């Protein structure tokens, strides 16, 4: 028995019908697709919900002392205040995720970075969403002016603070932090030797 390739591959199954369950002028929508398994036209199509999402960027911003800029932000869907990293939506069609990351770091953290490293890209929940998250390590940080950008809603209540990387990694490993993007960013940066505990 041959082993399949150890890589994700593009594939598209036939959709016999698609219905918008919600779509408005925001960047996300929910639809119901009826999907047919290839080569099984004698079987009834099955229903799958799809949350359309433009994608997101997550920034692990690390200063010269190997401290990470963290945020504490309320998330209504989970009814929880999470320790997070600066992040944002790829809501300008065709914009390079790195440019989104640069903009989001200024808007959320009032910081610019002189050095950027792509950590990875990952799908957040491919069973229901097409959201792809793009992770970046930002170094050589300096203060930046937000310009006319104003924090609103949950962001207006957001706290920012600096945490030594080793403390953040320990909090990830012992389960005190449950935000998947933080976990992935910290573990990827450590596994690749880009940030190491002191």
Q: Give residue 13's Cα distance to chain centre.
A: 26
Catalytic residues: 155
- Is 172 within 8 Å of 183 (Cβ atoms)? yes
The answer on 66 and 44 residing in a single domain is: no
**Per-residue confidence (pLDDT) for residue 92, from 0 to 100:** 87
The answer on 75 and 25 residing in a single domain is: no
**H-only helix segments in 14-142:** 97-109
Question: 196 pLDDT exceeds 80?
Answer: no
Which domain does 19 fall in, by range? Answer: 15-52
Length of the chain: 198
The answer on 130 and 41 residing in a single domain is: no
Question: 145 pLDDT exceeds 90?
Answer: no
Distance CA 104, CA 102 (A): 6
- pTM, two decimals, is 0.91
Higher model confidence: residue 138 or residue 151?
A: 138
Distance CA 98, CA 119 (A): 11
**Per-residue confidence (pLDDT) for residue 130, from 0 to 100:** 93
The answer on 148 and 73 residing in a single domain is: yes
Query: Which tokens is 57 given?
Result: 């960027």
Percent of the chain with pLDDT over 70: 94
The answer on 114 and 38 residing in a single domain is: no
The answer on 85 and 47 residing in a single domain is: no
Round the average pLDDT of the chain to a whole number and report it: 91
Task: Answer whether residue 26 is part of any domain.
Answer: yes
Distance CA 169, CA 155 (A): 24
Question: 121 pLDDT exceeds 80?
Answer: yes
Question: How many structural domains compose the chain?
Answer: 2
**Per-residue confidence (pLDDT) for residue 150, from 0 to 100:** 63
Task: Answer whether residue 107 is part of any domain.
Answer: yes
CATH number of 62's domain = 3.90.79.10
pLDDT band, very low/low/confident/very high, at 93 (cuts 50, 70, 90): confident
Rounded to an integer, the average pLDDT of 34-62 is 93
Question: 151 pLDDT exceeds 70?
Answer: no
- Is 34 within 8 Å of 18 (Cβ atoms)? yes
**Per-residue confidence (pLDDT) for residue 141, from 0 to 100:** 97
pLDDT band, very low/low/confident/very high, at 152 (cuts 50, 70, 90): low
HSE (side-chain half, CA atoms, 13 Å) at 13: 15
Question: 153 pLDDT exceeds 80?
Answer: no
């Amino acid at each position: 028995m041959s082993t399949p390739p150890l890589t994700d591959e593009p594939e598209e199954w036939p959709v016999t019908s698609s219905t918008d369950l919600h779509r408005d002028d925001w960047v996300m929508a929910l639809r119901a697709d009826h999907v047919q398994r290839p080569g099984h036209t004698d079987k009834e199509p099955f229903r799958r919900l799809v949350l359309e999402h433009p994608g997101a960027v997550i920034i692990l911003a690390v200063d010269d002392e190997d401290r990470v800029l963290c945020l504490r932000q309320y998330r209504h869907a989970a009814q929880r205040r999470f320790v997070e990293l600066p992040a944002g939506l790829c809501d300008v069609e065709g914009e390079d995720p790195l440019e989104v990351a640069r903009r989001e770091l200024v808007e959320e953290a009032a910081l610019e970075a002189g050095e950027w490293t792509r950590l990875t890209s990952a799908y957040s929940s491919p069973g229901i969403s097409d959201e792809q998250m793009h992770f970046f390590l930002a170094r050589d940080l300096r203060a930046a002016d937000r310009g006319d950008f104003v924090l609103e809603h949950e962001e207006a209540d957001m706290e920012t603070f600096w945490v030594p990387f080793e403390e953040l990694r320990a909090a990830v490993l012992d389960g005190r932090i449950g935000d998947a993007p933080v976990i992935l960013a910290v573990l990827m940066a450590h596994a690749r030797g880009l940030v190491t505990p002191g």
